[in-house]
Amino acid sequence: MELFSNFNLNKIAFEQKIVQDLLFIGNISFDKITSRSGISRCVIGGGAYNSAYCASLVSNLKIKVFSVVGKDFPISIIKDRGIDVSGIHIVEEHSNTFIINEQSGDIFFENNQPLEFHLNNKEHAKHVHISCRKGIRYPYLCLKNTIYHSSSTDVISSSLKEKIDEIKKCLKAINMLCLKNTIYHSSSTDVISSSLKEKIDEIKKCLKAINMLFLNNYEYDMLNKCLDIETAHLFPKVIIFITKGKGGVTVKKHKKEISFPGINIKKEDIVSTTGSGDAFIGGFLGSYYSSRPFCESLAIGVSIATLSIQDFGISHVTNKLSVLDEYFNKLMPIYKQKEHEIYEFLQER
């Protein structure tokens, strides 16, 4: 099945419309990466860029990104993918630059202070994903004037009216990112180990409002120790996606889980793992919100994530779509066997 290699890369120019299919909020940056083998490279990165780029590879959805960059950032790279860049605020300073050492796990800003991030626009999207990194505060996705159209609307709305004064006080205390007047049907976020512990109170509030949570195996273990996330009644509606490298991905809801295998590639083919989680998120959301089946969307996410680690950054994936077809076709017979199981899993309340 040539799902990727026949995909039209020369996408039709973006036409501004009221409703976005996917809205990605987060960092867009320059990433100076030192790989585990000691090789260094500077690439375009950031959670919002990586995920939006990969979503655009597998879909014709209307995709928009919200972020802030400096005047030195090549914005045309994003625009050329058919992604709406009107939500990217361009400032006079230099763009955020991350120093990422994959050997030690250290991540820090080259700039002394990250660019200030604001989200004041009124938006309407089917799905909002916030990629929480240094400089982007964890969202509390249950705010006044924020309208949900998902199945959890009644519960969230009723508790919101009763708790609105508490929410206002909370926001003043922790200064979280507000999605005021943003209408969306569903929402998701992710975590990163370097800032997980210091943001645990914000994450806990966020988990009570979102529909999906994306993280890797190590981050899941850290979060579970802090929050006991496996206690079903705490976060009953959250679907958790745990990426495991060559181990594939595990999907959890309540205390139930279903695992899907990954692609086993040679160790010497692994160049840099930075951004692979973002690639999975973009591939999955781009596919799923294009009305592809859940298992097929998982296979697409895993395929893109696997290919992404074979070079620095995300952009190189565009030149290797035939390899994505190969990975996808290898995974689908296995994933397809679990379609009934995943359907029942997702229907549980």
pLDDT at 196: 64
Question: Which domain does 30 fall in, by range?
Answer: 19-227+273-297
pLDDT for 92 equals: 86
CATH of the domain at 219: 3.40.1190.20
Q: Give me the residues paired with residue 20 across strands.
A: 125
Give pLDDT, residue 61. 94
Q: Are 58 and 82 in contact (CB under 8 A)?
A: no
Is 96 inside a domain boundary?
Answer: yes
Q: What is the pLDDT along the chain (349 residues), one digit of tens a residue?
A: 555 444 433 333 333 344 688 999 888 999 999 999 999 999 999 999 999 999 999 999 999 998 889 999 999 999 999 999 998 989 888 888 888 999 888 888 886 667 776 665 567 788 888 876 554 444 434 333 333 332 222 222 333 344 444 434 433 332 333 344 455 567 777 766 656 666 677 677 777 777 888 888 888 887 777 776 655 455 667 888 999 988 999 998 877 889 999 999 999 999 999 999 999 999 999 999 999 999 999 999 999 999 999 999 999 999 999 999 999 999 999 999 999 998 888 877 6
Report the number of distinct structural domains present in the chain: 1
| 199 contacts: CB under 8 Å, gap ≥ 6 | 132, 138, 191
Q: Is the pTM of this model over 0.75?
A: yes
In-domain check, residue 160: yes
Does 308 fall in a domain?
A: no
**Is 89 part of any domain?**
yes
Query: Considering the domain boundaries, does residue 130 fall inside one?
Result: yes
**pLDDT for the residue 132:** 64
Q: Taking the CA of residue 101 as centre, how many other CA atoms within 13 Å lie in the half-sphere pointing to its CB?
A: 7
Domain membership of residue 330 (yes or no) is: no
The pLDDT of residue 322 is: 92
Amino acid 231: pLDDT:
56
In a domain, 219, yes or no: yes
335's tokens: 């994933």
Q: Give the pair of three-digit tokens for residue 261.
A: 């295998």
Q: Are 89 and 118 in contact (CB under 8 A)?
A: yes
Residue 84 placed within a domain: yes
